[in-house]
Amino acid sequence: MEKTEKQKMLAGELYLAEDPELGAESKRASRLLRRYNSTTEEQQEQRQQILQELFGKIGNKTLIVPPFHCDYGSNIFAGDKLYMNYGCVILDCNTVHIGENVLCAPYVQIYTAYHPTEPEIRLSGRELAAPINIGNNVWIGGNAIICPGVTIGDNTTIGAGSVVVKDIPENVVAAGNPCRVIRYLS
């Protein structure tokens, strides 16, 4: 039996995002995000309900400051006490696992999606996506970009403006473009 485009996407294989099933899921996310982003700070309970419907899993005491954007939402699995400041984006064309006590400063961008480097394949409209894993007790500085396929270990700090293109171990401070370990924590 041939895989669906969604199955290919989640398997890290070339897929067509224009697929009707994926289009319907994207529209669902857009509707929920429009509702979420129009809420006020007094509507915390409504925000939690929308996130529970949007995400694959959402932990307790989650606070995401609007505006927030994602592709599908259903591929995001977050632990307790996630905090995301203004303007964060998660392109969840593959799974994004976020641990507990994760802090994201404004405009953090988490990208599972990417395009083929070969022009012929790219021109076919097919795309790729690789999962991202962020451990527990992680702080990601403002305007940091987390690229496809990356794992960030527990108790790690990613400096503002960093571009994380490879795995970052636990218990470190890392920063730069490309992001690299600056200091090991005891």
Catalytic residue set: 115
CA dist., res. 66 & res. 38, Å (int) = 8
Bridge-partner residues for 127, per DSSP? 15
CA dist., res. 158 & res. 86, Å (int) = 17
CA dist., res. 166 & res. 133, Å (int) = 12
As given in the structure block, the two tokens for residue 21 are 């099933």
Residue 114 has φ and ψ, to the nearest 5°, of: -155, 170
